[in-house]
Structure 1
Amino acid sequence: MAFTDLGDVRLFHTDDGSGDPALLLVHGLGSDSHEWVHHIPALARRHRVIAVDMRGHGYSSAPETGNTPRLMAEDLAGLCAELGVGQCVAIGHSMGGQIVSHLAVEHPSLVRALVTVDPGYGFTGPVAASFPALIEQMREDPLAASLRNDLWTSTGATPGWLREWHRRRILATPPHVLLQAFEAMFGGPEPLGLRPNSDGYLSRRTCPVLTFWFDPAQAAWEAGLFKDPRSRAVTWEGSGHRLHEERPGEFLLVVTDWLRSLA
């Protein structure tokens, strides 16, 4: 079945291929599992690949409350139990980087390794200072504020079709989900998106981590939090926020080589 009921939420997911370890693919805010269409066929040649629409996104149900990265991570733990996944490599983009990090910290026996792609944590300085005003704008009009905020994710090299695809996905996301998830990431008590909150929490990830950033300063910061010597930080300067979609072939090459090195 492509849907699994977990009590308060019904998750859409695909389940392709076979092989150990299983890969769990987690999209960003205002997106869905179509984000991984360039990657699933190649990954499924060697691995079982599970791609999920998180609560409030895509074809999954959208509860009125609880649309936060922490609860989304609990959804994934429940989904893995339902699907008989004992261990996985969790791969998350943007908000998905927060979600899979929560999964690794709170369910360490489930997560063998992590891959995070321009993850939504560790922000400081002017970027962090801009979040309170952005959250207020989202309270007034979540869709309009989310569309404005999405403008920074692209560069001159980002394909026009990719910008349009994600604009349409944001428009298809329930406004209350956009607000609840963003506020949980970057506002409220001790948000994982901001330093120093992120430092202490991410330091609890004991598994190997492969992280991709377009910002070398962010990559160097996260590398300082790694606990497993097999961890690696990759910087692709000049890429946009969705670097795995802009450069899918290179992304797959780096990820698959790293996974083989773990084995």
Structure 2
Amino acid sequence: MAFTDLGDVRLFHTDDGSGDTTLLLVHGLGADSHEWVHHIPALAGRHRVIAVDMRGHGYSSAPESGNTPRRMADDLARLCAALGVESCVPIGHSMGGQIVSHLAVEHPSLVRALVTVDPGYGFTGPVADRFPAMIEEMREDVVGVCLRNDEWTYTRASPGWLREWHRRRILATPPHVLLQAFEAMFGGPDALGLRPNSDTYLARRACPVLTFWFDPAQAAWEAGLFKNPHSKAVTWEGSGHRLHEERPGEFLIVVTNWLRSLP
């Protein structure tokens, strides 16, 4: 079945391929599991691949409350239990990077290794200083703010189809979900989007971590938090925020080679 009812939420997901390793693909805010259509066929040739629409996104149900990365991580743990998954490698983009990091910290026996793609954590300086005002603006026009914020995620090299695809996905996401998730990511007292909250929490990830950034300073910062010697930070300068969609072939090569290198 493409849907699993967890009681308080009904999640849409696809389940393809087979193998010793299960990959759990987790999209970003205002997107859905279609974000991984360029990657699923190749990954499913070697692995079991589960791609999920998180609560409030895509074809999954949108509860009135609880649309936060922490709750979404709990949803994933419950989904894995329902699907008989005892160990997995979650791969999370943007907000998905927060979600899968919560999964690794709170459910360490479930997460064998972790991949994050330009994750939504660890911001500081002018970027972090802007978040409180953005959250207040979102209370008046959440969709408009999200659409304007989406513009920074691209470079001149980003294809037009990618811009339009994500614009349409933002428009299709319930406004209360966008607000709740963004505020939890960047506005709460323990929001992982902000340092030093992220420093303390992410250092608790004991598993191997592969992280992708377009900003070398962010990559160097996260590399300093790694606990496992098999962890690795990759920098793709010149890419946009959705680097895995802009450069899917190269992304797949780096991820699959790293997975093969793990003990």
Q: So what's the TM-score if we normalise by structure 2?
A: 1.00
Q: CA deviation at 1:111?
A: 0.2
Q: Which residue of 1 aligns with 2:170?
A: 170
Q: Which residue of 2 aligns with 1:141?
A: 141
Q: So what's the TM-score if we normalise by structure 1?
A: 1.00
SS in 2 for 1:195: coil
Which runs of 5 or more structure 2 residues have no equivalent in the other structure?
A: none
2:116 aligned with 1:116: yes
Distance 1:262 1:49 in 2: 18
Distance 1:198 1:259 in 2: 25
Q: Which residue of 2 aligns with 1:182?
A: 182
Once the two structures are superposed, the pairs formed by residues 1-263 of structure 1 within 5 Å of their partners are 1-263=1-263
Distance 2:211 2:60 in 1: 27
Distance 2:136 2:124 in 1: 19
Query: 1:222 is aligned with what amino acid?
Result: E
Q: CA deviation at 1:20?
A: 1.5
SS in 1 for 2:23: strand
Distance 1:228 1:201 in 2: 15
Distance 1:74 1:42 in 2: 28
Q: CA deviation at 1:189?
A: 1.5
1:141-163 residue CA offsets vs partner (Å, 9 max, x unmatched) = 11001001101000000000000
1:192-235 residue CA offsets vs partner (Å, 9 max, x unmatched) = 10000000000000000000000000000000000000000000
Cα RMSD (Å) of the superposition? 0.4
Query: 1:247 is aligned with what amino acid?
Result: R
Distance 2:155 2:175 in 1: 26
Distance 1:138 1:77 in 2: 30
Q: CA deviation at 1:21?
A: 1.1
Following TM superposition, the consecutive aligned residue runs of length 4 or more in structure 1 with deviations greater than 3 angstroms are: none
**Deviating more after overlay: 214-223 vs 138-147:** 138-147
Query: 1:80 is aligned with what amino acid?
Result: C
Query: 2:41 is aligned with what amino acid?
Result: P
Q: CA deviation at 1:188?
A: 1.9
Distance 1:22 1:188 in 2: 32
Q: Share of identical aligned residues, percent?
A: 86
SS in 2 for 1:147: helix
Distance 1:67 1:191 in 2: 14
SS in 2 for 1:229: coil
Query: 1:65 is aligned with what amino acid?
Result: S
Distance 1:154 1:115 in 2: 21
Distance 1:167 1:20 in 2: 36
Distance 1:133 1:177 in 2: 18
Number of equivalenced pairs:
263
SS in 2 for 1:79: helix
SS in 2 for 1:111: coil
Distance 2:152 2:93 in 1: 16
Query: 1:88 is aligned with what amino acid?
Result: C
